[in-house]
Structure 1
Amino acid sequence: MELPPATPHDARPPEVRVDFDGASGCIAEARDVAGLFLRDHAPHAGGTFPDDVLLVVSELVTNAVRHAPGPLTLTVCLLPGGIGITVRDTGPGRPYTRTPDRTGGRGWPIVQSLARRVHVVPEHGGKTVQAELDW
């Protein structure tokens, strides 16, 4: 897999943005995109950080696939002292914490526990979910 070119370093921090059709197979592809971005742009980030980023990407994209019909966009970018993950989808609902059961309910608490900041922006025709993680 080859990533689209990142933004120039002199314009703003590097980011990658990928559109997906919303099919369940895009979850693994989204993880791959984030992993390649981390390898190329944040090799100094060690410890469990890369695993945490991939887990948050998986959870946010999974939520979009399960609860929003249609396409979604994943953006991963460098932030001062961390990384930003944004998922834009066409679903009208907001993520919320529910009682975990055999079919789910664990993802949103995981995202909230790993991120220093989580923000949901309702938009016409969908929403954007943003998460920021520290190095």
Structure 2
Amino acid sequence: MELPPATPHDACPPEVCVDFDGVAGCIAEAREAAVAFLRLHVPHARTTFRDDVLLVISELVTNAVRHAPGPLTLKLGLLPGGIGITVRDTSPSPPHSRTPDRTGGRGWPIVQSLARRVRVVPGPNGKTVHVELAW
């Protein structure tokens, strides 16, 4: 997958923003975008960090596909000491934990356990979930 160019100004940390149609196939596309971003901007990141980033993206995008009809946006950006992951979708409902069963319920607790910081911001047409992961 080809990514849009990173922010060209040297004073700004690299970031990428990718829009998806919100169907199940976009989960793999979001992971591909993350792999490309990490290879380009964090080539020496340890494998466990890359795996954590991909897991968080998979969970956030999967939740958006399941619970928010319509398009979604994934944004990745470098932060001091880590990476920021943002997913914007069309559902006004915030993510929440539920009792795990055969169909799910494990994702949001996993995201919270891996994150340095999690923030959910409601908007007029949905919500934005911000997650920060430390190196």
TM-score exceeds 0.5: yes
Q: Paired residue for 1:39?
A: 39
Separation (CA, whole Å) in 1 of partners of 2:101 and 2:76: 30
Where in structure 1 are there 5+ consecutive unaligned residues?
none
Residue 18 of structure 2 aligns to a residue in which SS? Answer: strand
Q: TM-score, normalised by structure 2?
A: 0.97
Separation (CA, whole Å) in 1 of partners of 2:30 and 2:9: 23
Residue 40 of structure 1 and its aligned partner are, at CA, apart by 0.4
Q: Within 5 Å, give how 1:4-83 maps onto structure 2.
A: 4-83=4-83
Separation (CA, whole Å) in 2 of partners of 1:105 and 1:81: 30
Number of equivalent positions: 135
Q: Paired residue for 2:104?
A: 104
Separation (CA, whole Å) in 1 of partners of 2:107 and 2:51: 15
**Could you tell me the percent identity over the aligned residues?**
79
Residue 11 of structure 1 and its aligned partner are, at CA, apart by 4.0
- AA of the residue aligned to 1:42: V
Separation (CA, whole Å) in 2 of partners of 1:99 and 1:21: 29
Residue 48 of structure 1 aligns to a residue in which SS? Answer: helix
Q: Paired residue for 2:127?
A: 127
- AA of the residue aligned to 2:18: V
Residue 9 of structure 1 and its aligned partner are, at CA, apart by 4.5
- Structure 1 segments of 4+ aligned residues over 4 angstroms from their partners: none
> How large is the Cα RMSD of the aligned pairs?
0.8
Residue 44 of structure 1 and its aligned partner are, at CA, apart by 2.5
Where in structure 2 are there 5+ consecutive unaligned residues?
none
Deviation string, structure 1 residues 55-114 (Cα, Å, up to 9, x no partner): 000000001000001000000000001000000000010000100011110000010011
Separation (CA, whole Å) in 1 of partners of 2:77 and 2:9: 12
Residue 91 of structure 2 aligns to a residue in which SS? Answer: coil
Q: TM-score, normalised by structure 1?
A: 0.97
